[in-house]
Structure 1
C-alpha cells in the first residue's frame, strides 16, 4: 500500500475514534457508489452525516480545510443522494462535515484535528 493510502487509512481510523468519543454512531465507512466515495457515514441528533476526511503529514495543514474542490463536493452530494435511494431511506436531516488531521509520522501521533461541521449548504 502506498504511503499516502496508509496515511489516509490512519486518518480515517483516527476520525472514527474521535467521532465515537463525541457520541456519533458510525453507520458505514468507505461507502462507494457510481458517483464516488464517502469516507464515513455517521448519525447524531437525528442527522445523517456524510464525512470527508483529509489527512496530511506535511506542514501544509492549513490548506486541508480548503482542499475540497467544487467537483469533489458535487460527487459527495450525488453519492449521498444515491445512498438514500439505494438504502430505500426517506431523505432525512443531513449534514456534510470535513475532518482534517495532521499526523506527525516520526512520532506516530496527531498534531492537529479539526472538525468542520455543515460545510455544504
Structure 2
C-alpha cells in the first residue's frame, strides 16, 4: 500500500476513535457507489452525518482541508443522495462534516485535529 494511502487510513482510524469518544455511532466506513466515496457515515442526535477526512503530514493540512474543490463537494452530495436511494431511507436530518488531521506518521498519531461541522450549510 502506498504511503499516502497508509496516512489516509491512519487518519480515518484516528477520526473514528475521536467520533466514538464524542458519542457518534459509526454506521459505515469507506462507503462507495457510482458517484464516489464517503469516508465515514455516522449518527448523532438524530442526524445522519457524512464525514470527509483529510489527513496530511505537512504544515498546510488545514489549508488543504478547508479548500475542498467544487467537484469534491458535488461528489459528496451525489454519493450521499445515492446512499438514501440504495438503502431505501428517507432524507431527514443530515449534515456534512470535514475532519482535518495533521499526522506524525512515524509515531502513528495526530499532532493536530480539527472537526468542521456542517460544512455545506
Give the TM-score normalised by the residue count of structure 2: 0.96
Partner of 2:68: 68
Partner of 2:28: 28
2:90 is aligned with 1:93: no
TM-superposition CA deviations, 1:26-55 (whole Å, max 9, x none): 000000000000000000000000000000
TM-superposition CA deviations, 1:7-39 (whole Å, max 9, x none): 000000000000000000000000000000000
- Runs (4 or more) in structure 1 with deviation over 3 Å come to none
Q: Which runs of 5+ in 2 are unaligned?
A: none
1:58 CA displacement: 1.2
1:110 CA displacement: 1.2
Q: Which runs of 5+ in 1 are unaligned?
A: none
Pairing 1:1-121 to 2, within 5 Å after superposition: 1-121=1-121
Give the TM-score normalised by the residue count of structure 1: 0.96
